[in-house]
């Protein structure tokens, strides 16, 4: 962002309404977030602002900070900029009507599709049935509604793929494979599952893991999963499983011993500094490096570490004594077949040294090594998954204050609401306004706490940053009063819904022409198709 000011000003603090819970990332629990900063500190979600500059024509939800966080989004952005393959996927539990909160995710999927990504939208019907107990006939109806809105908003089903979890055999086979790498104690610690948790609910979790990796089934590619932060446990678990499925692990090493991620930069710094201490700079010895590292000024070398990490690195180097310190790439056989291991060894070019469980290569860099490992894996029956990325959007505040919830109709605007109903809901929404008009003129409104302003920023103003900023500035400047402001928003909402309903009708034809079964009464059991 070139100019911070306006960007800051058009941001809101959605989800911070009173009564919001503490941060808890629970996919099936309450999902309000009282303090988004904690997500960065406690869960390691990264700030979206840090990658915003790298996004080619960012979506308005990105520009306005509604998409606030990410995990490892850069590989997706790199692919986007270089015209390489990438994918986007998200899923929806058909437990009720799709509403304007879901629209954020629809928009995110569609935007990535427009940027050239392979796009996937799925109906998490197994999850809705097993975790929420929704009967299949209701699921059928809601599924149709989600898909219609997604298509109406611009998803291209010719280019992308839409599916139901329960109706996707490849997905289920992948879920089975992934389940082989997960165990119950992880389910307990990640999701709080216990002896009472029904087994189908657990199956729906491995199914979601499979969803997240599904875009890579034919070809590994960077994949982004746009979701609310409540889904982060799923994302982390899927990233973990993606790596566990890999045949080889590629690391950088400097001698026969292993280094952990904290120690590695220290030893790399010691290698860089070899001229300073080695008797023969062409062949620095580990023992020499140990001496240097023991009291090197690491701040000057640009490496920040704790003393205990320094000590352990020094010790490893000391123990290796006269062994040369020499950078290399190390391939570990994680779960490669012997055949794949042999093939890898064969394919490594240049100098290499073979050990029992690993092989060191001296003439390649990490990226080449990763590509090679993935290629060999793919040729020998593996998947070669790339750890999936994610982006996180803020939860919308309910129109009545507090949390926007599918089960409280007045708190949200359903994408199926009649235009007039949408109009009325906006008109009776709570605001960030002052008690009297005079006070409002004097103090200005509190747009940052106003669900109506959120409607403008998240939806109504669309791509028009100027309008969003104008509403904000006029509000906080006391020039805008809530009555007129709501009238304007309500009218825009009515128009949005009118338009959306028309597009849903057109989408119905498209949906009917796709091969998606929305009729089955007992999923997978009664059906034969």
Per CB under 6 A, which region of 160-168, 408-416, 447-455, 503-511 contacts ligand SF4? Answer: 447-455
Q: Is 162 in the site for ligand TRP (CB under 6 A)?
A: no
Q: Is 139 in the site for ligand TRP (CB under 6 A)?
A: no
Per CB under 6 A, which region of 59-67, 177-185, 207-215, 437-445 contacts ligand TRP? Answer: 207-215
For residue 308 the two structure tokens come to 């205990």
**Block residue for tokens 């809530």:** 482
What minimum distance in Å lies between the beta carbon of 55 and ligand TRP?
20
Distance set, CA 32 to CA 20, 39, 90, 398, 449 (Å):
6, 12, 20, 11, 15
Q: Is 210 in the site for ligand TRP (CB under 6 A)?
A: no
**What SS3 state is found at 349?**
coil
Per CB under 6 A, which region of 116-124, 425-433, 461-469, 493-501 contacts ligand SF4? Answer: 425-433
Q: Which does 127 bind (CB under 5 to 8 A by kind): ligand SF4, ligand TRP, none?
A: ligand TRP
Question: In 387-471, where do the E strands start and end?
Answer: 389-393
Q: Is 453 in the site for ligand SF4 (CB under 6 A)?
A: yes
Question: In 222-321, where do the E strands start and end?
Answer: 223-227, 248-253
Count of residues that bind ligand TRP according to CB under 6 A? 15
Q: Is 117 in the site for ligand SF4 (CB under 6 A)?
A: no
Contact, 237 vs 209, CB < 8 A? yes
What minimum distance in Å lies between the beta carbon of 64 and ligand SF4?
14
What minimum distance in Å lies between the beta carbon of 128 and ligand TRP?
8
Indicate the residue among 224 and 452 with the shorter CB distance to ligand TRP.
224
Q: Which residue is nearest to ligand TRP (CB)?
A: 91
Nearest to 411 by CA among 450, 451, 454: 451
Residue of 12, 113, 115, 231 interacting with ligand TRP (CB under 6 A): 231
Indicate the residue among 247 and 496 with the shorter CB distance to ligand SF4.
496
Q: In what order do the strands lie in the sheet with 352-354?
A: 248-253, 328-333, 358-361, 352-354
Q: Which does 231 bind (CB under 5 to 8 A by kind): ligand TRP, ligand SF4, none?
A: ligand TRP
Q: Which does 27 bind (CB under 5 to 8 A by kind): ligand SF4, ligand TRP, none?
A: ligand TRP
For residue 267 the two structure tokens come to 């030893």
- Say how many CA atoms lie within 13 Å of 40 toward its Cβ: 10
SS3 content of the chain, % helix, strand, coil (to 5): 50, 10, 40
Indicate the residue among 166 and 397 with the shorter CB distance to ligand TRP.
166
Q: Which does 91 bind (CB under 5 to 8 A by kind): ligand TRP, ligand SF4, none?
A: ligand TRP
Q: Is 224 in the site for ligand TRP (CB under 6 A)?
A: no
Q: Is 452 in the site for ligand SF4 (CB under 6 A)?
A: yes
Q: Which does 485 bind (CB under 5 to 8 A by kind): ligand SF4, ligand TRP, none?
A: ligand SF4
Distance set, CA 231 to CA 142, 174, 335 (Å):
21, 20, 29
Q: Which residues pair with 252 in a beta bridge?
A: 329
Contact, 226 vs 211, CB < 8 A? no
**Block residue for tokens 């201490």:** 277
Distance set, CA 320 to CA 147, 286, 338, 484, 493 (Å):
61, 6, 30, 76, 70
Rounded-to-integer distance, Cα 467 and Cα 165, Å:
40
Indicate the residue among 226 and 432 with the shorter CB distance to ligand SF4.
432
∠ Cα 166 168 172 (to 5°): 80
Q: In what order do the strands lie in the sheet with 87-92?
A: 46-47, 67-71, 389-393, 223-227, 87-92, 118-123, 161-164
Q: Is 397 in the site for ligand SF4 (CB under 6 A)?
A: no
Nearest to 157 by CA among 208, 204, 207, 106: 106
Q: Is 209 in the site for ligand SF4 (CB under 6 A)?
A: no
The H-or-E segment that residue 146 falls in is: helix 136-152
Indicate the residue among 181 and 427 with the shorter CB distance to ligand SF4.
427
What minimum distance in Å lies between the beta carbon of 108 and ligand SF4?
24
Which residues, 6+ apart, have CB-to-CB distance to 236 below 8 Å?
71, 190
What minimum distance in Å lies between the beta carbon of 127 and ligand TRP?
5
What minimum distance in Å lies between the beta carbon of 416 and ligand SF4?
25
What minimum distance in Å lies between the beta carbon of 80 and ligand TRP?
19
What minimum distance in Å lies between the beta carbon of 485 and ligand TRP?
32
Q: Is 450 in the site for ligand SF4 (CB under 6 A)?
A: yes
What minimum distance in Å lies between the beta carbon of 449 and ligand SF4?
8
Per CB under 6 A, which region of 14-22, 142-150, 378-386, 446-454 contacts ligand SF4? Answer: 446-454
Exposed / middle / buried, residue 34 (Cβ in 10 Å: 0-12, 13-18, 19+): middle
Rounded-to-integer distance, Cα 43 and Cα 335, Å:
29
Residues 61-120 binding ligand TRP (CB under 6 A) are 89-93
Binding residues vs ligand SF4 (CB under 6 A): 431-433, 445-447, 450, 452-453, 475, 480, 482, 485-486
Binding residues vs ligand TRP (CB under 6 A): 27, 89-93, 122, 124, 127, 208, 211-212, 225, 227, 231
């Amino acid at each position: 962002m070139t100019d911070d000011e306006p960007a800051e000003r058009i941001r809101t603090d959605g989800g911070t309404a009173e009564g919001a819970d503490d941060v808890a990332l629970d996919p099936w629990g309450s999902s309000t977030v009282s303090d988004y900063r904690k997500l960065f500190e406690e869960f390691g979600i990264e700030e979206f602002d840090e990658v915003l500059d790298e996004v080619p024509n960012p979506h308005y939800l990105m520009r306005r900070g509604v998409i606030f966080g990410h995990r490892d989004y850069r590989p997706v952005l790199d692919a986007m900029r270089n015209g390489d393959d990438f994918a986007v996927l998200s899923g929806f539990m058909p437990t009720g009507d799709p509403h304007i909160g879901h629209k954020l995710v629809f928009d995110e999927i569609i935007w990535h599709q427009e940027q050239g990504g392979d796009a996937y939208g799925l109906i998490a019907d197994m999850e809705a049935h097993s975790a929420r107990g929704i009967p299949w006939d209701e699921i059928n109806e809601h599924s149709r509604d989600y898909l219609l809105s997604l298509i109406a908003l611009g998803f291209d089903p010719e280019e992308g793929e839409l599916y139901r979890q329960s109706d996707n055999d490849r997905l289920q086979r992948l879920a089975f494979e992934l389940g082989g790498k997960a165990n119950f104690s992880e389910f307990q610690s990640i999701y709080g599952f216990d002896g009472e948790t029904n087994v189908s609910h657990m199956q729906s979790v491995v199914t979601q893991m499979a969803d997240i990796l599904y875009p890579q089934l034919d070809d590994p590619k960077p994949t982004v999963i746009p979701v609310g932060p409540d889904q982060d446990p799923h994302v982390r678990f899927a990233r973990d499983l993606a790596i566990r499925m890999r045949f080889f692990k590629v690391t950088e090493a400097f001698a026969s011993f292993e280094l952990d991620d904290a120690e590695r930069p220290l030893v790399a710094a010691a290698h860089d500094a070899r001229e300073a201490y080695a008797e023969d700079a062409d062949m620095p010895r580990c023992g020499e490096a140990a001496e240097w590292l023991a009291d090197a000024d690491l701040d000057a070398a640009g490496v920040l570490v704790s003393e205990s990490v320094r000590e352990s690195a020094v010790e490893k180097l000391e123990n290796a004594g006269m062994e040369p310190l020499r950078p290399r790439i190390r391939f570990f056989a994680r779960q490669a077949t012997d055949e794949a291991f042999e093939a890898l060894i064969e394919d490594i070019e240049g100098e290499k040294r073979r050990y029992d469980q690993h092989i060191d290569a001296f003439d390649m860099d990490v990226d080449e090594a990763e590509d090679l490992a993935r290629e060999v894996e793919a040729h020998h029956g593996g998947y070669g998954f790339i750890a999936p990325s994610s982006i996180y959007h803020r939860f919308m505040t309910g129109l009545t204050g507090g949390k926007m919830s599918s089960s409280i109709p007045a708190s949200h605007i359903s994408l199926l609401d009649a235009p007039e109903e949408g109009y009325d809901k906006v008109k009776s929404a709570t605001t960030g306004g002052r008690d009297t008009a005079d006070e409002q003129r004097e103090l200005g409104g509190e747009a940052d706490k106003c669900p109506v302003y959120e409607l403008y920023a998240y939806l109504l103003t669309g791509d028009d940053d100027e309008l969003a900023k104008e509403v904000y500035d006029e509000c906080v400047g006391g020039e805008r009063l809530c009555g007129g402001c709501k009238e304007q928003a309500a009218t825009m909402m009515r128009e949005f819904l009118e338009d959306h309903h028309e597009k849903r009708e057109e989408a119905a034809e498209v949906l009917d022409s796709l091969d998606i079964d929305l009729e089955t009464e007992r999923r997978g059991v009664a059906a034969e198709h």
